[in-house]
Amino acid sequence: MLRTHTLGELTEAHVGKTVTLAGWVHARRDHGGVIFIDLRDRYGVTQITFDPQKDESAHQAADRIRSEWVIEVTGEVVARPADMVNDKIATGAVEVEVSQITVHSEAKVLPFEINDAKSDAANEQLRLKYRYLDLRKAQAQEMIMEKSRFIQMIRTYMVGEGFVEVQTPILTASSPEGARDMLVPSRLYPGNFYALPQAPQQFKQLLMVGGFDKYFQIAPCFRDEDPRRDRHYGEFYQLDMEMSFVEQADVFAVMEPLMRELTSAFSDKKMDDGPFVQIPWRESMTKYGTDKPDLRYEMHITPVTEIVKDSGFGVFTNVAKDGGVIHAMRVEGGASFSRKDIDELTEVAKQAGAKGLAYIIVKDSELQSPIVKFLGEDVAKEIVTAVGAEVGDVIFFGAGSWREVCDALGPVRNACGERLGRKDISVAKWAWIVDFPMFDYSEIEEGKIDFSHNPFTMPQGGMDALETMEPLDILGNQYDLVLNGLEISSGAIRNHRPDIMYKAFEIAGYTKEHVDEKFGHMIEAFSYGAPPHGGNAPGIDRLFMELTDCNSIRDIYAFPKDGNGRDVMMNAPSPVYDKKQLDDLHIKTIK
C-alpha cells in the first residue's frame, strides 16, 4: 500500500508516529511561509503542513501544488495547538508535519469546484458530464456507500430467511411487462433480436418449477420508458423474489419485516405498529383516486351520487341519469386557497380528463360556490354533512364515469396535499393494495378486454371464476406495495396451471396458437408439475430514494442518465460510424 493510514483515521493516539498518507488536495493555504494542505479521500480529511524551517525541499515541492492534485506524503503526526483544533472533522486534533512528498498526478483547472455547496449549484449537465469529479464530494460518496449498506442489509435478510440468490439471464426474449423492450440485435441470427429483461419474471417462475422454493436476486431491469423524478431512464434494480407453496399472506409475512428494518435503519420516519394496512383496489380508487395512495394525510373522496342525482344542477343530474357517478372530496383547510389556486387545481383535473372542477367553500355563515344556487341550500348542506366538512374547508367534485372521476380527483388530492404541506417527510405510511381486477378495457383498442396487470397472475376463484363470471368482475391475486404515494413493488400469486392460463388469455383475445408462440416454454414447463407460487419485486432505487428523501432518483446512482435519458459523460446513445459493425449485425439505419 502507498499509505499507512486513511485520511479519516488519525487521532491523538497517533501523535509521534511517522505515517504515510495519500489522497487529493482539498484545499491549500499559505500562512506566512508555512503551507497548510487539507488532504482528502473518501474516509475524511487530514491537515498536513510544510514548514520551510523543518524541511526546505518538501516546502518547495508543496509551493507548486494545487487543488485536486493526487499526492503522497510521509511525516510525523503532531498535536494541533488547542486554539487550532477543528471539532468538525474526526482528525481535527492532529496534523502531519511532512518531510517527504510525491506527486502522483496533477489536475487541470476544474470545470467546477469540489465543494459541496458550490458543486451542487453547478449546472446539472456539467456535473453529469464530469460525474467522476462530482463523485468526489463527501455527500455523493456517502450516498453511494449508504446505498451499498442498504443492498447488503437486503441480502443479509433474504439469506437469513432461507432464500437462494440466483442470477438470471440478461440477454433473453421479449416479455409483456407493459413497457417498451430494450432490444439487442443478434449477429449469429440475422434479423433476430434479444431483449434485455424488463424483469426476471419468467425465469423466477421457472426456478420454482425447478424446485428452488425460495429465490431472490438484486436484479437489473431494463425498460424503455420516459424518465421522471422517481424513474431512472432505461435501467434500475429491484429485489426480485419468489416463493413456492405460498399464498398472498406468506409473501406479506416475508416482506413486511424487511421493509420495517430498512425504514428504521435508513430513515428517521415513524411507522404505524402492526401489519401493513391492506386496501382493496376499488376502495383505494374510490377513496383516494389512485391505486398508490399517500396515506400521510386524511383527504378522503366520498360518493355523493344519491344526494345530488335529483338536484337542480343539470351537470350532476345528467351524469347520474347516464349511469355515471358524482364524488366529493373534502380538503381540510382548503378555504385558504386563492382564486389562482383553484384555477390551477382545475387545470390539474382537466389534464387528468375532467371537464372542470366544481367546488364549495365552507365559510362561517355561508357556503360559497357558483353551484350552490343550482344544488339548493338543503342539498349543499347534506353534502357538507356527508363528507364531514367544517368551516375552513373546501369540497371539490368530480362527475363522470367511475374511472374518470377517480382518475381526475386523485391528482387533485395529490396537488392539494402538496400545496397544504401535508406530505410529512418524517412519516412512512406503508400499505398493500390488493384485489386488483384481472381484466380491464384495452388502452389501445377500444372495447377490447385485456389484462389489467401481469398476465401470469392466478385469478381469484381459478378456472371457475373465468368460466362463470363477467371478465371485468374477476379479481386477480395481484397486490402492490405502496409507501407515501409511491408504488414500491408489484407482485402476485402466479398462474401455474396451463388450462387456466389458456382460458385467461382466451378472454383477453389471444388464441391458443398465439399463447404457444409467445409462452410455449412456460406452458411446457408447467405441464411437468409446477408448485403454487408467488412473489414480488420491490424497486430498490425508488425505495432508497424515498427513505433518504432525495429530490430525484438520479441522485442515488453512481453514473446516472440525465432527464432526457442521455449519458452525457459517455456520450450515449451515439451513432455507430463503423459500417462493418452494423453490417455484422445486418442493420441499416434510416434517418
CA distances (Å), 346 to each of 18, 339, 356, 421, in order?
70, 11, 6, 19
CB-based contact 262:489 (threshold 8 Å): no
Amino acid 323: pLDDT: 95
**495 within 8 A of 442, measured Cβ to Cβ:** no
Do residues 456 and 492 lie in contact, with contact meaning Cβ atoms separated by under 8 Å? yes
The reported pTM is 0.92
In whole angstroms, give the CA distance from residue 506 to residue 504: 5
Query: Strand, helix or coil at 294?
Result: coil
Residue 514's contacts (CB-CB under 8 Å, 6 or more residues apart) are 505
User: What's phi and psi for 164, nearest 5 deg?
Assistant: -105, 130
Per-residue pLDDT of the chain (591 residues), as tens digits, is 899 999 999 999 999 999 999 999 999 999 778 999 999 999 999 999 999 988 899 999 999 999 999 999 999 999 999 999 999 999 999 999 999 999 999 999 999 888 756 556 668 899 999 999 999 999 999 999 999 999 999 999 999 999 999 999 999 988 765 688 999 999 999 999 999 999 999 999 999 999 999 999 999 999 998 888 888 999 999 999 999 999 999 999 999 999 999 999 999 999 999 999 999 999 999 999 999 999 999 999 999 999 999 998 999 999 999 999 999 999 999 999 999 999 999 999 999 999 999 999 998 878 999 999 899 989 999 999 999 999 999 999 999 999 999 999 999 999 999 999 999 999 999 999 999 999 998 777 777 898 988 888 999 999 999 999 999 999 999 999 999 999 999 999 999 999 999 999 999 999 999 999 888 999 999 999 999 999 999 999 999 999 999 988 998 999 999 989 999 999 999 998 888 999 999 998 887
Which three cell numbers, joined as nine digits, stand for 11?
A: 487521532
**119 sits in which H/E element:** helix 116-121
Domain spanning 12-105 has what CATH number?
Answer: 2.40.50.140
Inter-helix orientation angle 201-209/512-526, to 10°: 40
- Omega before 573 within 30 of 0, i.e. cis: yes
Q: Is 184 left (phi over 0), alpha (psi -120 to 50) or beta?
A: beta
Where along the chain do its domains lie? Answer: 12-105
Q: What are phi and psi of 194, to 5 degrees?
A: -85, 165
3-class state of residue 40 by DSSP: strand
CA distance 73 to 102: 6
Task: Tell me 447's DSSP state.
Answer: T
Q: Return the C-alpha cell found at 135.
A: 463523485
Is the dihedral angle over the CA atoms 94, 99, 103, 108 positive or is it negative? positive
Spell 140-178 as b/e; 16+ CB within 10 A means b. Answer: beebeeebeebeeebeebbeeeebeebebeeebebbebe
| Alpha carbons 427 and 415: distance in angstroms, whole number | 18
Are residues 271 and 260 in contact, defined by beta-carbon separation less than 8 angstroms? yes
Name the DSSP class of 577: -
**Amino acid letter at 161?**
E
Among candidates 73, 37, 29, 32, which has minimal Cα distance to 53?
32
Extended beta strands in 351-453, E state: 359-362, 367-368, 394-400, 430-434, 439-441, 449-451
> How far are the Cα atoms of 58, 67, 250, 575 from residue 526, in angstroms, in the given order?
73, 63, 22, 43
Distance CA(464)–CA(451), nearest Å, equals 18
Q: Which of 289, 319, 286, 290 is CA-nearest to residue 305?
A: 319
DSSP 134-198: HTTSHHHHHHHHHHHHHHHHHHHHHHHTT-EE-PPPSSB----SSSPPEEEE-SSSTT-EEEE-S
**Dihedral sign, CA of 30, 36, 41, 44?**
negative
Question: Which residue from 311, 303, 330, 315 is spatially nearest to 376, judged by alpha carbons?
Answer: 311
Contact 28, 49 (CB under 8 A): no
Q: Rg of the chain over CA atoms, in angstroms?
A: 30
- CA–CA distance, 132 with 559 (Å, rounded to integer): 8
